[in-house]
């Protein structure tokens, strides 16, 4: 998750947290040159966040989020309050370094850009902050790993929805959201992403199970789903 500032240098923070507002809390060591620059005046930076696939893939990065904005250090009271807010969502022992060799900075977003296999999308901060988390955001990693490791037969059955010229490739589950399942097909020298859309948006495991039975072609789907 490197941060690139106006000087062009790449900095890897000790810890980061993206808030629902689109702002980013960034923990830097007190000896980091970027902290010294930001203490003098706000610094224009671009924060890059990678979305790593939870299963083994030849190319594990499935998406990138770039947040461009202004970075400034927080005063002691504001930094402590923000660290507590981060800890309530994502406890991390590195937060204990605050005030003991590390400082907390706030990146205020001006624009956000999301890029994945489906395209590149520019977002305004208010659009990002208004977005609701996908119902499977906390469930996706475990579910995809279980599908990949324990249900190779199901993954093989999903190949019926893949273009014929790609079916000889290695098919792996790539992503899950309320609207469908994404597959990664690794052929010789190339990767291809395919989205299998659900018949309707789903919001819980029972609805997901029904849609998966439909995609796989389960003969008992009508009675169970």
Written as six digits, the tokens of 213 are 């039975």
Average pLDDT value for residue range 128-147: 95
* First-last CA distance in the chain: 41
pLDDT surpassing 90 at residue 42: yes
Average pLDDT value for residue range 115-127: 91
d(CA 187, CA 165): 10
Q: Looking at the domain 140-218, which fold is it?
A: Split barrel-like (3.20.180)
**Model pTM above 0.75:** yes
Nearest residue to 3 via CA among 52, 70, 51: 70
Torsion of CA 143, 93, 9, 59, to 10 degrees: -20
Q: Do domains 3-130 and 140-218 have the same CATH topology?
A: no
Question: Where in the chain are the domains?
Answer: 3-130, 140-218
Q: Looking at the domain 3-130, which fold is it?
A: Pnp Oxidase; Chain A (2.30.110)
pLDDT tens sequence across 2-28: 666 656 678 999 999 999 999 999 999
Q: Tell me, what DSSP letter sits at residue 117? A: T
Phi, psi (5° rounding) for residue 139? -105, -20
Partnered with residue 72 across adjacent β-strands are: 106
């Amino acid at each position: 998750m490197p941060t690139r500032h106006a000087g062009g240098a790449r900095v890897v923070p000790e810890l980061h947290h993206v808030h629902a507002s689109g702002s980013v809390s960034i923990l830097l060591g007190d000896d980091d040159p970027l902290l010294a620059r930001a203490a003098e005046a706000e610094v224009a930076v671009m924060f890059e966040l990678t979305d790593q696939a939870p299963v083994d893939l030849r190319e594990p990065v499935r998406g990138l989020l770039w947040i461009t904005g202004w970075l400034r250090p927080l005063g002691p009271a504001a930094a402590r309050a923000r660290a507590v807010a981060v800890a309530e969502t994502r406890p991390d022992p590195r937060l204990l370094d605050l005030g003991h060799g590390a400082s907390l900075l706030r990146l205020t977003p001006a624009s956000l850009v999301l890029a994945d296999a489906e395209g590149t999308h520019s977002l305004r901060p208010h659009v990002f902050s208004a977005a609701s988390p996908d119902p499977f955001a906390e469930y996706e990693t475990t579910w995809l790993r279980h599908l990949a490791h324990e249900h190779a037969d199901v993954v093989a059955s999903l190949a019926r929805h893949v273009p014929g010229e790609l079916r000889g490739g290695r098919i792996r589950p790539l992503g899950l959201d309320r609207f469908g399942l994404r597959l990664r097909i690794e052929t010789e020298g190339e990767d291809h992403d395919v989205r299998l859309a659900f018949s309707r948006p789903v919001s819980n495991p029972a609805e997901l199970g029904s849609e998966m039975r439909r995609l796989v072609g389960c003969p008992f789907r009508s009675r169970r789903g």
